[in-house]
Structure 1
Amino acid sequence: MPLVRISMFPGRSDEKKQQLAQEITECFERVWNNKPEGITIIFDEVEKSDWIVGGVPYSKK
């Protein structure tokens, strides 16, 4: 059972997240022959102030 976890900044619509999840699911079906009900996708929405690269939050960039 594949688990795909996507971390991103907030702001994408539910429709766009659903579209992406569908595309990822279809890719797993096609490449690994997984059944769709065995594929889990989680979207983690992380605030820019909590996403830090090189010691600097994205909210400061």
Structure 2
Amino acid sequence: MIAARLILVAEHARHRERAEKGKKRMPIVSIHMRKGRKPEAKKMLLRKVTDAVAESIGADPAKIRVLIHEVDDSHWSVGGISYEDQENGT
């Protein structure tokens, strides 16, 4: 099973000063998930997350940044056991 988890919606620090002057900040969404999703699925995820952020906080979609961090199964664990070891039964 491939897990995906939305980790955080943050504001880009460089734009903090402008935001304090009444301008909106640039939202950044960081998604960590296991490797293995098809490119089409990742493209759809990027579009849908952008749409959701734009709708929920009123951000301009052109300013929303979405980052996907793909993690190898040997570098992702649950309960101290990597997904790689869980799938291999070790």
TM range (shorter): 0.7 to 0.9
Deviations 1:3-59 (A, max 9, x none): 111111111122111111111111111111100111111111111110022221111
The match for 1:41 is 66
Q: Does 1:20 align with 2:45?
A: yes
Gap runs ≥5 in structure 2: 1-25
Query: What TM-score, normalized by structure 2, do the two folds share?
Result: 0.62
Which is higher, the Rg of structure 1 or of structure 2? 2
- Number of residue-to-residue matches in the alignment: 61
Alignment root-mean-square deviation, CA: 1.1
Query: What TM-score, normalized by structure 1, do the two folds share?
Result: 0.87
SS of residue in 2 equivalent to 1:7: strand
Gap runs ≥5 in structure 1: none
Q: Does 1:11 align with 2:36?
A: yes
